[in-house]
């Protein structure tokens, strides 16, 4: 089975015409474009490697000949000229080409500086070689040009490796794309390439196989490993009507699926696209660096020229050292480290997020997430599971808990009301055997009436029970207490005699409490925003240890409250459902959408959490803070590097050590330049060590 390494499409090895061998592995391609896409960077890398090898090998004899007198001086000069010129113009051709592009686009770049620096050394040395009579000193600096080129190319090679390590995570994500699927065609299973799957197709996935595309389970049940997309290490149970995500792995049972989304629409494709496009949006912090980078080259050339002229006319260190001062300044300056400082950390940070189910849509969102000091949570469906469940079963008569529940659940079996369904669910969880219902009648907005074993069962709210003339007697106080805790009460009577009550509430997600605690530990204020009544909001806030809540807020008022908080100087992140809460997510400084399915691109908000785990809210903010501080570090070093080293190259140390330091300063300059961008990328790679929080217990 072969797979196109670029687009991930299935390619039949027997009929494939486009193949290529790279480092002993044969690759198959679906199209010319994909093959080119794959081979072009390989070819570039090869050229670069050859360039490094050749320039390093040729630099050695040049250095030997320069520093050890083996030949008469003039013959030495001619030999050096003959050895260096190929480095300068063949291996170094890329710098001239880059310079040409740069001038044509009126945007100075690295190549201009390297070409200018090395050409200066080469041209001066060539002039000395062919017309030594015209010069006082006969030293030539072919070695300087050669070593600069060798070092700069080595630096680029290292940079290439570190960059590909940084982008490996994105590639790995794209590589998850399955290639083949088992489709049921006229009752028989046939293995087909994933690209042929259409929505509505019936698929079979065996244990150990990847789910081919986003689908719905239509038969069977199993556990599925979703860790590659959500970061969730615990396998997820799947049964009929559940959604399964393409590229996740079926672990235990055979699943029959109906394909829902294919191609560009699958969750995986959307995630890959989102992560890639997140690299494009510019973080505000990067704009400064970009602006500096755009006038950097002319500025450096000016400084270099000024220092050369200064040393020649005022420093009297001679033409050669003055030129070397110029060369040192030009070569040491590194706009690349500045330019790459933000994108490198951003790429690693967003990839790390994607591995854990945190999708950050762009640098601007990451930057604001790193600065957030207030998190506003929508309550229903975000902090809570969004549907009621039974919290208390209170017998008020001689009846036992199980019997009370059994009668209530049997009466509610036919109910479509969420409260009724919640009662049925607990009974099923306790595997009670339901009783047969002779008569059932739902009274809208009030309750139900059912006949079981000739007993009349009434189940409903206070009004309903009152209306039917049932005395609540001494139980009022207990019921009110439960209501004050934000719970909904369902009261039950048998043959018009009060027997018990049940309290139901929308329960907190298990990740709610640990998340709130974690956010508070991070120094972030947590606020609840809900359309629910103040009583419920207060109960939930108390349980979570949250001081501020806004209750009874109508949907259109939510944005106003967020604005209010912003006016108080808070930087607000709003956490909610990416579709229903879209306006308030957009209003906040940062919207964090809790994913509700596989349609990730539809979710609004700058950050989308793929799995319904609130801890990722804290993770997203912590990761953003870490990444932002990495960006700042990178920018600081890149600026500091240039600010400190340019004056040294320009001759700040000459008064201390004399002009002789220009004998080796250009080498140091090139070496420093070569490692500067690698350092920035390597520093960014450290972000891969970021650990997500797994704490589940709240604080006391």
Distance CA 609, CA 107 (A): 39
Residue among 255 and 338 whose Cβ is closer to other proteins = 338
The span of 273-281, 388-396, 411-419, 486-494 binding other proteins (CB under 8 A) equals 273-281
Minimum Å gap between C-beta 663 and other proteins is 30
Binding mask 149-178 for other proteins (x = CB under 8 A): -------x--xx--x--xx--x--------
225-264 residues in contact with other proteins (CB under 8 A) are 264
Residue among 211 and 347 whose Cβ is closer to other proteins = 347
**Is 276 an interacting residue with respect to other proteins (CB under 8 A)?**
yes
Tokens of 602: 């539809």
**Is 293 an interacting residue with respect to other proteins (CB under 8 A)?**
yes
Residue among 101 and 533 whose Cβ is closer to other proteins = 101
Q: Catalytic residue among 378, 581, 589, 612, which?
A: 378
Tokens of 354: 């994607």
Distance CA 348, CA 149 (A): 30
In 509-639 the beta strands, taken as DSSP E runs, fall at: 525-529, 548-550, 572-577, 590-594, 607-609
> Which parts of 311-381 fold into alpha helices (H)?
318-332, 335-355, 363-369
Residue among 232 and 603 whose Cβ is closer to other proteins = 603
Residue among 144 and 350 whose Cβ is closer to other proteins = 350
Using CA of residue 516, residue 518, residue 522, residue 523, what is the dihedral sign?
positive
- Rounded to 10 deg, the angle between the 110-130 and 93-104 helix axes is 120
Q: Which residues does 595 contact at the CB level (< 8 Å), separation at least 6?
A: 578, 603, 608, 609, 610, 611, 612
Minimum Å gap between C-beta 202 and other proteins is 28
Kindly tell me which residue out of 19, 101, 302, 438 binds other proteins, with binding defined by CB under 8 A. 101
Residue among 338 and 396 whose Cβ is closer to other proteins = 338
Residue among 36 and 548 whose Cβ is closer to other proteins = 36
Kindly tell me which residue out of 9, 65, 110, 675 binds other proteins, with binding defined by CB under 8 A. 110
First to last CA, the chain: 55
What CA–CA distances, in Å, run from 450 to 353, 400, 409, 412, 617? Answer: 53, 20, 11, 8, 45
**Is 285 an interacting residue with respect to other proteins (CB under 8 A)?**
no
Please name the residue that has the structure tokens 């762009």: 362
Kindly tell me which residue out of 202, 252, 294, 693 binds other proteins, with binding defined by CB under 8 A. 294
Minimum Å gap between C-beta 150 and other proteins is 19
Distance CA 210, CA 250 (A): 6
Minimum Å gap between C-beta 37 and other proteins is 5
**Is 450 an interacting residue with respect to other proteins (CB under 8 A)?**
no
Residue among 185 and 290 whose Cβ is closer to other proteins = 290
The helix, strand and coil proportions of the chain, stated in percent and rounded to the nearest 5, come to 55, 20, 25
Helices and strands in the chain, H and E counts: 22, 26
Enclosing H/E stretch for 447: strand 447-452
Q: Which residues does 663 contact at the CB level (< 8 Å), separation at least 6?
A: 324
Q: Edge-to-edge strand order for the sheet containing 180-185?
A: 188-193, 180-185, 202-205, 255-261, 214-219, 243-244
566-585 residues in contact with other proteins (CB under 8 A) are none
Minimum Å gap between C-beta 102 and other proteins is 7
Number of residues engaging other proteins in binding (CB under 8 A): 51
CA dihedral 30, 34, 39, 41 (to 10 degrees): -160
Minimum Å gap between C-beta 280 and other proteins is 3
Q: Which of 392, 413, 608 is nearest to 486 (CA)?
A: 392
**Is 279 an interacting residue with respect to other proteins (CB under 8 A)?**
yes
Please name the residue that has the structure tokens 């500086």: 113
What CA–CA distances, in Å, run from 398 to 402, 403, 450, 454, 499? Answer: 12, 10, 21, 19, 8
Residue among 108 and 486 whose Cβ is closer to other proteins = 108
Kindly tell me which residue out of 105, 233, 431, 433 binds other proteins, with binding defined by CB under 8 A. 105
Kindly tell me which residue out of 66, 76, 88, 109 binds other proteins, with binding defined by CB under 8 A. 109
CB 292 within 8 A of CB 338: yes
Minimum Å gap between C-beta 365 and other proteins is 12
Residue among 343 and 500 whose Cβ is closer to other proteins = 343
Minimum Å gap between C-beta 293 and other proteins is 5
**Is 148 an interacting residue with respect to other proteins (CB under 8 A)?**
no
Cross-strand bridge partners of residue 96: none
Kindly tell me which residue out of 185, 277, 402, 476 binds other proteins, with binding defined by CB under 8 A. 277
Residue among 132 and 279 whose Cβ is closer to other proteins = 279
Minimum Å gap between C-beta 243 and other proteins is 21
Burial of 393: CB neighbours in 10 Å, binned 0-12, 13-18, 19+:
middle
334-393 residues in contact with other proteins (CB under 8 A) are 335-336, 338-340, 343-344, 346-347
Kindly tell me which residue out of 20, 22, 37, 468 binds other proteins, with binding defined by CB under 8 A. 37
Q: Which of 566, 458, 108, 48 is nearest to 297 (CA)?
A: 108
Specify whether 392 is catalytic.
Answer: no
Binding mask 322-341 for other proteins (x = CB under 8 A): -------------xx-xxx-
Minimum Å gap between C-beta 79 and other proteins is 33
**Is 36 an interacting residue with respect to other proteins (CB under 8 A)?**
yes
CB 631 within 8 A of CB 345: yes
Active-site positions read: 378
Q: Which residues bind other proteins (CB under 8 A)?
A: 6, 33, 36-37, 40-41, 44, 94, 97-98, 100-102, 104-110, 156, 159-160, 163, 166-167, 170, 264, 276-277, 279-282, 289-290, 293-294, 297, 335-336, 338-340, 343-344, 346-347, 601-602, 604
């Amino acid at each position: 089975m072969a797979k196109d390494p670029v687009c991930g499409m299935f390619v039949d090895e027997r009929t494939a015409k486009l193949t290529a061998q790279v480092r002993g592995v044969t690759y198959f391609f679906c199209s010319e474009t994909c093959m080119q896409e794959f081979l072009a960077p390989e070819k570039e890398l090869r050229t670069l490697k050859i360039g490094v090898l050749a320039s390093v090998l040729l630099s050695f004899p040049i250095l030997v000949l320069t520093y050890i007198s083996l030949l008469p001086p003039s013959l030495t000069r001619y030999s050096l000229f003959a050895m260096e010129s190929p480095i300068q113009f063949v291996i170094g051709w890329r710098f001239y080409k880059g310079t040409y592009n740069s001038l044509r686009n009126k945007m100075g770049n690295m190549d201009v500086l390297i070409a200018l620096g090395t050409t200066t050394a080469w041209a001066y040395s060539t002039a000395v070689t062919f017309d030594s009579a015209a010069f006082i000193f006969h030293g030539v600096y072919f070695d300087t040009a050669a070593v600069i080129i060798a070092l700069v190319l080595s630096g680029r090679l290292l940079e290439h490796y570190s960059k590909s390590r940084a982008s490996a995570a994105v590639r790995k994500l794209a590589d998850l794309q399955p290639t083949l699927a088992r489709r049921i065609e006229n009752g028989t299973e046939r293995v087909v390439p994933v690209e042929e799957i259409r929505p509505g197709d019936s698929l079979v996935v065996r244990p150990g196989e990847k789910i081919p595309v986003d689908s719905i389970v239509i038969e069977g049940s199993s556990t599925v490993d979703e860790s590659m997309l959500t970061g969730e290490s615990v396998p997820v149970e799947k049964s009929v009507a559940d959604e399964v995500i393409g590229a996740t792995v079926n672990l235990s049972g055979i699943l029959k699926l109906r394909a829902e989304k294919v191609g560009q629409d699958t969750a995986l494709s959307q995630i890959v696209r989102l992560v890639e496009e997140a690299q494009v949006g510019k973080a505000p912090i990067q704009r400064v660096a970009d602006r500096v980078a755009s006038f950097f080259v002319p500025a450096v050339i000016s400084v270099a020229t000024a220092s050369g002229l200064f040393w020649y006319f005022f420093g009297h260190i001679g033409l050669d050292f003055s030129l070397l001062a110029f060369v040192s300044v030009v070569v040491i300056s590194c706009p690349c480290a500045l330019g790459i400082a933000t994108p490198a950390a951003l790429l690693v940070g967003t990839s790390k997020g994607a591995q854990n189910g945190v999708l950050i849509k762009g640098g601007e969102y990451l930057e604001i997430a790193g600065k957030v000091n207030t998190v506003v949570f929508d309550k229903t469906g975000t902090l809570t599971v969004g549907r009621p469940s039974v919290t208390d079963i209170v017998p008020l008569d001689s009846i036992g808990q199980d019997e009370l529940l059994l009668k209530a659940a049997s009466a509610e079996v036919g109910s479509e009301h969420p409260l009724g369904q919640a009662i049925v669910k607990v009974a099923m969880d306790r595997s009670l055997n339901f009783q047969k219902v002779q008569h059932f009648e739902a009274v809208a907005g009030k309750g139900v009436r059912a006949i079981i074993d000739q007993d009349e069962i009434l189940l409903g709210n206070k009004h309903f029970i009152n209306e039917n003339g049932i005395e609540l007697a001494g139980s009022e106080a207990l019921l009110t207490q439960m209501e004050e805790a934000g719970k909904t009460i369902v009261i039950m009577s048998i043959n018009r005699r009060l027997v018990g009550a049940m309290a139901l509430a929308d329960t907190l997600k298990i990740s709610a409490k640990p998340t709130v605690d974690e956010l508070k530990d991070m120094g972030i204020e947590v606020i609840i925003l809900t359309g629910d009544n103040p009583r419920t909001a207060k109960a939930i806030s108390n349980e979570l240890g949250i001081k501020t809540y806004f209750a009874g807020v109508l949907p259109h008022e939510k944005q106003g409250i967020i604005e209010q908080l912003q006016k108080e100087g808070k930087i607000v992140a709003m956490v909610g459902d990416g579709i229903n809460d879209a306006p308030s997510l957009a209003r906040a400084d940062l919207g964090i959408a809790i994913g509700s399915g596989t349609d990730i691109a539809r979710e609004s908000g700058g950050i989308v959490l793929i799995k319904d785990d609130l801890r990722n809210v804290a993770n997203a903010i912590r990761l953003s803070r870490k990444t932002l501080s990495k960006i700042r570090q990178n920018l600081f070093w890149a600026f500091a590097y240039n600010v400190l080293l340019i004056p040294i190259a320009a001759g700040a140390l000459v008064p201390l050590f004399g002009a002789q330091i220009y004998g080796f300063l250009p080498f140091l300059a090139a070496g420093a330049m070569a490692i500067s961008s690698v350092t920035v990328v390597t520093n960014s790679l450290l972000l891969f060590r970021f650990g997500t929080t797994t704490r589940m217990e709240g604080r006391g």
